Amino acid sequence: MEWNPAVKVIPLGGCGEIGLNMMVVEHEDAVIVIDAGLMFPEDEMLGIDIVIPDFSYLRQNRDRLRALILTHGHEDHIGAIPFLLREFDVPIYGTGLTLALLQEKLKEHHLLERTVLVRVEARESVVIGPFTVEFIQVCHSIPDGVGLAIRTPAGVLIHSGDFKIDQTPVDGKRLDLARFGAYGEEGVLALFSDSTNVERAGYTLSEKKVGATLRDVFKECGGRIIVAVFASNLHRIQQVIHLAGEFNRKVLLNGKSMVANVRIAREMGYLDFPREWETSLHELPRLPDTGVLMLTTGSQGEPMSALSRMAFNDHRKLKVKPGDTVVLSSKFIPGNERTIQRIINHLYRQGAEVIYEQVREIHVSGHAYREELKTLINVVRPRYFIPIHGEYRHLVKHCQLAAKTGVIPENCLLVENGSVLRFTREAALVEDRVETGRVLVDGKGVGDVEGLVLRDRRHLSEDGLVIATLVIDRESREILSGPDILSRGFIHEGTKPEILDEAKCVVFEVLDRLLSRDFQMDEMDLQNEIRRELKRFFIHTLDRHPVIYPIVVDL
């Protein structure tokens, strides 16, 4: 079998998980990267701020790296770029809004001045080494999203980007089925398609359906309206602001990302409303409740968001009061349900009425349902089908859907992060694996928090900490100070002081046993023995397993 010219495609993130999207396409001396996204930490990642992909494979191929190509401006597709640019000097291609949102991020990281940003338009093509990349307009929950058609020496690869088929989009920009279809007529080697909503039957609702529901809310509400929405969902924001103008309500923008995104979108023409519709915190007390609309972030219950602080009556300038209506206009992201429910309960305690997805149709997805996924497959008619952007079950179900749609089952290739897909004009093969994974970002530390640190954090969070300190004279072996027992997150000294007193006795017993022996005292041995005996004591007495940290100072 003739394998040249061979093209390799390697997902470094986003296959088997939601978020962390990153994919490599390579041929001979050229490597291009599609997206570089982040993931927000899972519950067990205590103290972690964000998660980014492992760049090890890119480091190994630094000299071949030609470009970073972006599909749209969501964090799970652009959030890791500042960390990527710290290591790699690479030009970035993207549409106008995508690059504008990225510019704000790069300014914060002081990377903008040394980064080459190349703006492209839908239906525009760029040549990067052996690849010709066309950007194809798609419809998503953020404007300026694109799919990609990549001409390679082995054939055409189609990357769907994140997409849905909305027949009545707010901005009138529909998914460009004509371009996808043109490639389908020409012949497509492989389709890489968004799998997020493959479990949902039928079609996604149009974004305009949310507008109709929100209009009903505006009609019914006799007090202030507070709408919490993702700051990137500019179509939703546009509809809400237009309703505010229709119902003579002034708009208060609240939240750093909300203010920044609205400013950028207005400057670029993606949002359109008169400046006199806006108000400020200073003017707010002078407005009647029926004349106020607040647009805020915090729809996922983020602890430091304005909505969360308002719910817990912890915001210095904004308070929720009886008569307010709070609209959570977003989907509950898995893992956030409990936090959001707590906020809803506290908003009700403040006297507000709360509207959310389970009670009204105030959110629609930006990802295609099953019938839309089938439509794209039928239009593109790929020889090979590869599901991306989804957890493992999503990928499996998307392969099954593609097979039912007509793709040869053996040509539905299920890959995970690190899998190497090798394409030629004649065949495709999943071969080998490359190093990949997740890198944890904690404050300014990137990758310095790993499994052992997280395990210790979980242990501390679940069982607490006990510190035993003492000072010993090296020569005489007399105790100069201590032992002192300090407890944090284990037991309160005021509730069971006898437990800590008994723990001191345990330490004394260890000291009597070891220090009375005629041998050179080893500080480490003494610490380990204190740890072992205290562990036995706490298990026997309380059936608890705190982290025990002995400190022995010998003078």
Q: Which residues are catalytic?
A: 194, 367
Report the alpha-carbon distance of residue 117 to residue 95 in Å, rounded. Answer: 10
Dihedral angle computed from the Cα positions of residues 377, 378, 382 and 386, in that order, rounded to the nearest 10 degrees: 20
Amino acid at 461: S
Report the alpha-carbon distance of residue 319 to residue 328 in Å, rounded. Answer: 17
Give just the sign of the alpha carbon dihedral 100, 102, 106, 107.
positive
Closest CA to 535 of 498, 477, 490: 490
Closest CA to 302 of 236, 228, 359, 214: 228
Closest CA to 236 of 260, 216, 213: 213
Instruction: Give the contacts of 441 (CB within 8 A, at least 6 positions apart).
Output: 48, 49, 50, 51, 52, 83, 447
Q: Which of helix, strand or coil describes residue 432?
A: strand
Q: Which residue has the tokens 């990302």?
A: 257
Closest CA to 379 of 409, 407, 338, 399: 407
Instruction: Give the contacts of 299 (CB within 8 A, at least 6 positions apart).
Output: 228, 229, 230, 307, 328, 329, 330, 340
Instruction: Enter the DSSP assignment of 40.
Output: P
